[in-house]
Amino acid sequence: MLAVEAFGRVDHRHPAGASLIQDATSEFLGRIDRNIVSRAFADAAYGQYLAAAGKRTFIDKTPRYWMVLDFLDSLYPEAPHILLLRNPYAVAASLKSTWGIPLVPESWPPASLSCLYDLVLRLPPDIASSLADLVLGLPTLAAYRDRRQTQVVRYELLVARPDEEIRRVIAGLGYDPTCIASATMEQAEYLRSSRFGDRKILERTAVDDRSVHTWQTELSIQEMQAITDAVGAELLIELGYEQELRHVKQAGIVDRGRAVTEEYRQVFRTWWDSRRP
């Protein structure tokens, strides 16, 4: 759906001319209801997958749908959303250990807002995007918790009591949860053939909660401070991670206040706007 939302915007190297393609697409779709066109494409694509698999429900999951939440709502206003929340420090540790994302540049901490902006601009796009998921994506997703058809699932509870949480999700989707025997770890073949997703899942045979606390040893003090600044103590407390915030404070982390967090968001909003055609 990220690609559907971006329909008509192409790479600047396109031989037909990126600006011409975008202008022509906008002019053409401006005469009709673009949502109807986008929904028809998505219906056809999802419908073929469901028919081929003999299934009734398709779950399309990526954290980066935070970028197009309004678009998704305009296409499927009645669609249920499952919002999976996880401790931001653990998310950061996963970015570091699984994907090799550096959480703290060498020249850290930045001396000023302009220095922070220069640092972000020099980051490779994939790294900047991953950090934007925390700085911009997390508060955007958090704001959707109160959406009528949004069901919140906490990662920490999911791995601690998987059967109970999965049955709750199944019931929230309108199905009978009693048909689920247990939270098994059956490996679908597509997981091995696809290059998407966390490869660590292929090593698992059961749900476990060891990943809940590993961030405490995987993150350095400097990294914990950077995540605290970027996410903000207020949002951590709002999302229920006050205990984790107390832990990092005991380790020497300082809450530098809302103004510092807002500086991070301002810098990443500027970076985000510069990346969009």
- Domain segments of the chain: what residues? 1-58, 72-161+208-275
pTM: 0.89
Q: Tell me, what's the pLDDT at 195?
A: 80
The more confident residue out of 234 and 186 is 234
Q: How many residues does the chain have?
A: 277
Q: What's the average model confidence in pLDDT over 201-228?
A: 89
Q: Tell me, what's the pLDDT at 219?
A: 95
Q: How confident is the model at residue 67 (pLDDT cuts 50, 70, 90)?
A: very high
Instruction: Tell whether the model's pLDDT for residue 183 goes beyond 60.
Output: no
Q: Tell me, what's the pLDDT at 182?
A: 60
Judge contact between 8 and 1, C-beta under 8 A. Answer: no
Instruction: Tell whether the model's pLDDT for residue 112 goes beyond 80.
Output: no
> What CA–CA distance (Å, rounded) separates 204 from 95?
19
Closest CA to 84 of 96, 72, 66: 66
Instruction: Tell whether the model's pLDDT for residue 197 goes beyond 80.
Output: no
Instruction: Tell whether the model's pLDDT for residue 31 goes beyond 70.
Output: yes
Q: Where do we find the tokens 């900047």? A: 128
Judge contact between 140 and 83, C-beta under 8 A. Answer: no
The more confident residue out of 246 and 115 is 246
**Residue 19 structure tokens:** 């600006």
Q: Tell me, what's the pLDDT at 186?
A: 66
Q: Where do we find the tokens 């951590």? A: 236
